[in-house]
């Protein structure tokens, strides 16, 4: 548990579900997925892309400032989400707050474009280097928001966004600042990235039509990861204004386990067991009403996380859910999008179930929710949020 009280005061996101909070919650309450079958490099693949209106919003941002025309889509998505989070929190341009926004892949689309240009022309465009560095993400968000606090970018694969939250919590607990923007952004819907996922034999079958990704289904017979794009930014602070406490960060945990293979995870996800126990602290496991799972849609990954949850919670069975069957796996942004789902469920006191997974009974109340993320490298993060 966390001694210093730290609260989530606002959220901002853009994803296949949209960018308006009411629209996002409405999308969560329906039982349909937001994945699309599109042609990529002359073959059909399932992906989860932005809505048409959000793509227009991104195009408008690119044209808003001549400097933005050269930035990667992941940076622009981060700016959109960060602007929303700051506005919703009531923070002002020029305020002294920190920024830690990460990405698993970084400037994927732009890097591939520049490399393709180099292969064809034998030379690089002038801004090839500064616009494809990972630090480009938080630094441009800071430039856009005119902040004066620390700005940090990092990549810890698919647990990037929740690692950013842990870092923000550490800064707040140290007293070095009282407000931090944390989260992740990812825009890796490229043919090369999809080919990498397919090479791992974990991608959804292009011929599947009903639920292409069965993330969270313990009885699935096939791997079904689907790649999505988006950004999610969370504003955390120690002393939010009146009416600004969306949820309390009750605990954080992290762990890394030894790997037998580059993408492996142990059968009972030792890293998740340790991260969830750390996040719980002294809180009894039976106080947790629900877990928003990482659940990437792979057979081994989903089952390992479920095994870890059984180990930690024993006879108490918190309700399990995930959002990747609906909006895809957004890599470095996935943890903060999962956290957004957890906060929305707390706020609305409604559990969002996975439609193709039968549950004994959905919780009647939601007081504490655990949110999980893990990435290549066996680095797990768990965040415990509670009602204020």
Residues 6+ apart with CB under 8 A from 383: 162, 165, 166, 249, 251, 252, 253, 279, 339, 370, 371
233, 339: one domain: no
pLDDT for 1:
59
C-alpha–C-alpha distance, residues 100 and 225, integer Å: 27
Q: What is the mean pLDDT of residues 39-68?
A: 96
pLDDT for 4:
84
Q: Which structural domain range is residue 225 located in?
A: 7-237
pLDDT for 261:
62
Q: What is the mean pLDDT of residues 214-225?
A: 94
Comparing 378 with 354, the larger pLDDT belongs to 354
Q: What is the mean pLDDT of residues 156-161?
A: 96
pLDDT for 3:
75
Q: Is the pLDDT of residue 73 over 90?
A: yes
- Per the prediction, the chain carries an average pLDDT of 94
pLDDT for 113:
96
87, 231: one domain: yes
Q: What is the mean pLDDT of residues 160-184?
A: 96
Confidence grade of residue 2 (pLDDT, cut at 50, 70, 90): low
258, 188: one domain: no
Chain position carrying tokens 């069965």: 214
Q: Is the pLDDT of residue 98 over 80?
A: yes
The pLDDT tens digits for 246-267 are: 999 999 999 998 776 655 678 8
Residue 242 inside a domain? The answer is: no
Q: What is the mean pLDDT of residues 232-236?
A: 98
Q: What is the mean pLDDT of residues 157-161?
A: 97
317, 225: one domain: no
Query: What is the total count of domains within the chain?
Result: 2
**Domain end among 188, 215, 237:** 237
84, 177: one domain: yes
**Domain end among 237, 269, 290:** 237
141, 270: one domain: no
Burial of 347 (0-12, 13-18, 19+ CB in 10 A): middle
Q: What is the mean pLDDT of residues 30-59?
A: 96
Residue 82 inside a domain? The answer is: yes
Identify the CATH number of the domain in which residue 174 sits: 3.40.47.10
Residue 182 inside a domain? The answer is: yes
pLDDT for 53:
97
281, 177: one domain: no
């Amino acid at each position: 548990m966390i001694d210093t009280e730290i609260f989530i005061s606002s959220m901002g996101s853009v994803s296949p579900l949209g960018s308006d909070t009411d629209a996002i919650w409405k999308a969560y309450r329906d039982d349909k997925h937001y994945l699309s079958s599109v042609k990529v490099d002359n073959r059909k693949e399932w992906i989860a892309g932005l809505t048409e209106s959000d793509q227009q919003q991104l195009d408008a941002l690119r044209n808003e400032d001549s400097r933005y025309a050269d930035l990667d889509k992941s940076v622009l998505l981060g700016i959109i989400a960060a602007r929303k989070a700051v506005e919703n929190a009531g923070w002002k341009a020029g305020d002294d707050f920190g920024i830690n926004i990460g990405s698993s892949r970084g400037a994927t689309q732009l890097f591939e474009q520049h490399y393709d240009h180099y292969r064809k022309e034998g030379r690089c465009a002038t801004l090839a280097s500064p616009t494809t560095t990972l630090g480009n993400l938080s630094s441009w968000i800071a430039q856009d928001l005119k902040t004066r606090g620390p700005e940090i970018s990092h990549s810890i694969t698919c647990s990037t966004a929740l690692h950013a939250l842990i870092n923000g919590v550490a800064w707040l607990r140290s007293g070095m600042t009282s407000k931090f923007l944390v989260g992740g952004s990812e825009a890796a819907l490229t043919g090369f990235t999809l080919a990498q996922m397919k090479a791992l034999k974990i991608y959804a079958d292009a011929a599947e039509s009903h639920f292409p990704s069965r993330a969270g289904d313990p009885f699935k017979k096939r791997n079904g990861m689907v790649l999505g794009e988006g950004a999610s930014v969370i504003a955390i602070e120690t002393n939010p204004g009146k009416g600004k406490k969306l949820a309390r960060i009750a605990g954080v945990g992290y762990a890394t386990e030894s790997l037998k293979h580059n993408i492996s995870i142990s059968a009972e996800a030792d890293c998740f067991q340790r991260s969830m126990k750390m996040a719980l602290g002294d809180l009894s496991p039976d106080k947790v009403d629900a877990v928003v799972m990482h659940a990437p849609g792979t057979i081994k990954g989903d089952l390992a996380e479920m095994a870890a949850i059984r180990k930690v919670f024993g006879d108490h069975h918190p309700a399990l859910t995930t959002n990747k069957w609906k909006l895809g796996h957004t890599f470095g942004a996935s943890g903060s999008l999962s956290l957004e789902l957890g906060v929305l469920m707390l706020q609305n006191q409604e559990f969002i179930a996975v439609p193709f997974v039968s549950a004994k009974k959905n919780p009647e109340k939601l007081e504490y929710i655990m949110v999980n993320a893990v990435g290549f490298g066996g680095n797990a993060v768990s965040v415990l949020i509670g009602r204020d």
